Amino acid sequence: MMSKGAPRPLRKTPQPHPGFTAISVFTEVLTRIKSEYVEEPDMKNVTLGAMNGLLESIDPYASYLNAEQYKEYLRNFDSYRGDLGLVLAKKFGYITVVAAVPGSPAAKAGLTTGDMVETSRRGDA
């Protein structure tokens, strides 16, 4: 005999964390980059770029250093210190002058608030 009782309550299927959805999208993009680009991409640089983009979206002043870059940073920590008299920030992917200290080499060179640094050459004074 069959009865017409109340239907069984449906169990709610747990939804994956949004981060896992993002990882699946990231994986799909990496797969397409690897398989569809005409020239073989440097996957080490692709991954490093993705890590930096992720960090920059959270904090525009953050960046990721892989082990090799971190060792280079530690080796040269004191080597490239310059007293230019600048306060810098990152804006639209460029180094941007927030302020130049009056009388500093940067101020004497004409750098002012809002200037963007597109390139640099080592050895220039």
In this prediction the pTM is: 0.48
125 token code pair: 């004074």
Arithmetic mean of pLDDT, 5-15: 67
Arithmetic mean of pLDDT, 83-112: 84
Of 60, 55, 120, give the one whose Cα is nearest residue 90: 60
**pLDDT tens digits for 69-87?**
889 888 887 766 667 788 8
Rg for the chain, CA atoms, rounded: 25
Instruction: Tell me which of 44 and 124 has the higher pLDDT.
Output: 44
40 token code pair: 């073989």
Task: List, as one string, the DSSP characters of 6-22.
Answer: PPPPPPPPPPPPHHHHH
Q: Which helix (H) or strand (E) holds 56?
A: helix 43-58
pLDDT classification of 28: cutoffs 50, 70, 90: very high
Of 99, 95, 93, 103, give the one whose Cα is nearest residue 113: 99
Please state, as a whole number, how many other Cβ atoms lie within 10 Å of the Cβ of residue 91: 13
Arithmetic mean of pLDDT, 82-93: 78
What's the mean pLDDT when you consider all of the chain? 80
